[in-house]
Amino acid sequence: MKKFCYILFLFYALFIISSSALAAVVKIDPESVNINNVGVGNTFNVNIAIENVTNLGGFEFELQYDNAVITIENDSDVSIGAFLSSSGRSVSLLKNTDTAGLLKAGAFSYGDPIGPDGNGVLIQVTFKVQSLAEGALDLKNVILTDTSAASIAVDTTTDAAVTAIAETLTVQVMPASVTLNNIGNTFDADIMIQGVKNLGSFEFKLQYNPAVVKIANDTDVTLGTFLESTGRTATRLGPNIDNDAGLLEAGAFSFGDQAGPNGSGVLMKIKFTIQSLSAGQLDLKDVLITDISAVSITVDTVKDGNLYIPPDDPIDDTTDDTTYYADKDGDGTPDYLDKCPDDPSKVSPGSCGCGVADTDTDSDGTPDCNDKCSKDPDKVSPGSCGCGVAETDTDNDGTPDCNDKCPKDPAKTEEGTCGCGVADTDTDGDGIPDCNDPCVDDPDNACNGPGLPNDTDGDGVLDSEDGCPNDPNKTQEGTCGCGIADTDTDNDGTLDCNDKCPKDPAKTEEGTCGCGIADTDTDNDGTPDCNDKCPKDPAKTEEGDCGCGIADTDTDNDGTPDCSDPCPDDPENKCDSDNDGISDDKDACPDDPDKTEPGICGCGVADIDSDGDGIFDCNEDDSSSSNCFINTAAHSSMGMLSGIFSFLAVCIGISVRKDRISKK
């Protein structure tokens, strides 16, 4: 540690940091690593990369990691990238690995050439997987300097994630490599799951060749620790062992309040006893997985276990010491020859490492794992324009066309006031570029003559040619004059400046009724309808006593208009003797104020039927209903007619007054 600090002190002595540089990006590449695809005990690489740097001279950083998940095994696992020396300068690497999960590293360069520009790898770090758990790579305390020891601003640092959950759910047989000394020896095979979430239960069948291996008894099938890893209680199902058919049926379910486990682990461990020194296969099938709610979880991949004999050491029954090799990934290459024993698609790491295909989608010679523009054959990093867009700089002004709004004008990257291809030069410094300044050499814009402003209202027309030099909206007086627009709001042909009703197309003067109301006189009485309460009566403008359409004439001048006067020709109203409002010439009972017709009882007598018997009081002796009788004596005293009348009077219920018909 002291040696490292001393070297850092020398580093700072060589690079006295100041604050002036272009912003750069320092990042971890790749930004995410799935260590399930790597496997415990295997290694993977990450790069500390830089982008958008200019004249790089040196760098320093710290990288924090979880050493329970991944570790840096030795100094050789931290190596300098090619970028710092790419311009021809000599490079010295500074590094220190802390066992607490902290890497401190850096490098400085020296020599005559300038430092490199652009993008590249600063450091490559090799990690070894210790456990399949989540983790992170935390990049911090980054310092950059140029070749003159001036500080370079760091715009962004990007961390990386270490993930342990597989992208697809896989259940597989994973037998370990064993040495078969003798028939009768045993070896273990694991039923392993990867990429599961909230595991609740599992079932499976395992087919094997009973001539090669067998399962001695139930105790040789044991539950792995994964199902109970979150604190739930697990119960084994079976096992059902049929060594005659070479078939194992087994499973387990869990219960408890906790969630089920996520990620990867061993479901079941199986101990096999060797029956013969022959190659064999463990065929995994009928796999059922559920979560803690008994909901089925889809299994994406099921992998069998394949056991191989090395070709240079064939099995010889007479030889005691024979190795029986496993093929974890089932790719046909035994693990002892397979540099990617957990990757069925690869037998060597290649460019991208085990678990990552060396696919080159755009066929540009750079595999996708190292190609940040994997679908663009012309680029391996986004650059300034991004993938799929060329970094072309047509005008060679240092700004690529994708960011250059004037791609054919080397003097401009923005259109400015004058547009591309025309400089925004302001010769006289008056704030108006020459392209818009009619007096490019006169800051007072008096180029039309002494004391004569060039364009007072700034409408682009010189005052000498502008009929309204102070009105930016007009160059001629027009109808309304300078300073007043020749607007005709209501489109009635009269401009607003001369129209007292500029919003009423029917009027140009207010008239009697005002703007917006027509001066119509329907009855032609000289009073427009807006002021005439009887607009259809030419004789009246007010309703008066008799209303519109009826004259308020008072013929007898008695103060009551004829429309309400019963005696319009008699001021004393003597034409109505009983004062009932009906003139005598129209009143059949002129002396009876209650009647205008005689009715049944005649004038002066009310037509009343007090007892409601249908006979008015004026024709009854009294008002009771019991005065009807048969008068048998009427025949002798009044003769035939009187008898008939009396008979009718009694039979039809007509009561006859005594003062009108006498009895004899």
Tokens of 318: 């007479």
- The region, left, alpha or beta by phi > 0 then psi within -120 to 50, assigned to residue 7 is alpha
For the chain, give every residue range classified as CATH 2.60.40.680. 2-163, 170-327
Tokens of 54: 């200019």
pLDDT for 622: 60
The mean per-residue pLDDT over the stretch 138-162 comes to: 87
- Beta-carbon neighbour count of residue 147 at 10 Å? 21
The mean per-residue pLDDT over the stretch 277-299 comes to: 88
Confidence of residue 326 (pLDDT cuts 50, 70, 90): low
Question: What is the SS3 string spanning 496-552?
Answer: HHHCCCCCCCCCCCCCCCCCCCCCCCCCCCCCCHHHCCCCCCCCCCCCCCCCCCCCC
**For all residues of the chain together, what is the average pLDDT?**
82
- pLDDT at residue 313 above 70? no
- pLDDT at residue 281 above 60? yes
Confidence of residue 645 (pLDDT cuts 50, 70, 90): very low
Q: Three-class SS of residue 620?
A: coil
- pLDDT at residue 652 above 50? no
- pLDDT at residue 68 above 60? yes
Question: Which helix (DSSP H) or strand (DSSP E) does residue 649 occupy?
Answer: helix 634-651
Q: What angle do CA 442, 448, 454 make, to 5 degrees?
A: 70
- Cis? peptide before 30, omega within 30° of 0: yes
The mean per-residue pLDDT over the stretch 434-463 comes to: 72
- pLDDT at residue 395 above 70? yes
- Beta-carbon neighbour count of residue 354 at 10 Å? 23
pLDDT for 663: 37
How many alpha carbons fall within 13 Å on the CB side of residue 34?
13
Tell me whether strands 154-158 and 24-29 are parallel, antiparallel or unpaired: parallel
- Beta-carbon neighbour count of residue 465 at 10 Å? 10
Q: What does the alpha-carbon distance between residue 99 and residue 123 come to, in Å, rounded to a whole number?
A: 19
- pLDDT at residue 84 above 90? yes
Q: Please indicate whether residue 166 or residue 259 has the higher confidence score (pLDDT).
A: 259
Burial status of residue 627 (CB atoms within 10 A of its CB: 0-12, 13-18, 19 or more): middle
User: In this predicted model, what pLDDT tens digit does every residue of 222-264 receive, in sequence order?
Assistant: 999 999 999 999 999 999 999 999 999 999 999 999 999 988 8
- The region, left, alpha or beta by phi > 0 then psi within -120 to 50, assigned to residue 420 is beta
- One-letter amino acid at 597 equals E
Q: Three-class SS of residue 447?
A: coil
**The domain over range 2-163 is classified in CATH as 3.90.1150.10:** no
- pLDDT at residue 502 above 80? yes
- pLDDT at residue 177 above 60? no
Confidence of residue 350 (pLDDT cuts 50, 70, 90): confident
Helix, strand, coil proportions of the chain in percent (round to 5)? 10, 25, 65
Q: What does the alpha-carbon distance between residue 490 and residue 486 come to, in Å, rounded to a whole number?
A: 12
243-247, 599-603, 643-647: segment of lowest average pLDDT:
643-647
Q: What does the alpha-carbon distance between residue 74 and residue 66 come to, in Å, rounded to a whole number?
A: 16
- pLDDT at residue 635 above 60? no
- One-letter amino acid at 614 equals G
40-44, 297-301, 352-356, 380-384: segment of lowest average pLDDT:
40-44
- pLDDT at residue 115 above 90? yes
Q: Three-class SS of residue 12?
A: helix
- One-letter amino acid at 258 equals Q
- pLDDT at residue 452 above 70? no
- One-letter amino acid at 26 equals V
- Beta-carbon neighbour count of residue 641 at 10 Å? 9
Residue 625 C-alpha from the chain's centroid? 96
- Cβ 381 vs Cβ 389: under 8 Å: no
Q: What does the alpha-carbon distance between residue 304 and residue 282 come to, in Å, rounded to a whole number?
A: 6
The mean per-residue pLDDT over the stretch 352-366 comes to: 91
pLDDT for 386: 92
- Cis? peptide before 116, omega within 30° of 0: no
The mean per-residue pLDDT over the stretch 614-628 comes to: 69
pLDDT for 20: 40
**The domain over range 170-327 is classified in CATH as 3.90.180.10:** no
How many angstroms separate the Cα of 412 from the Cα of each of 148, 406, 580?
A: 30, 6, 109
DSSP 274-331: E-SSS-EEEEEEEEEEEETT--EE---EEE-EEEE--TTS---TT-S-EEEEEETT-S
Global confidence as pTM: 0.32
- Cβ 381 vs Cβ 83: under 8 Å: no
- Cβ 40 vs Cβ 133: under 8 Å: no
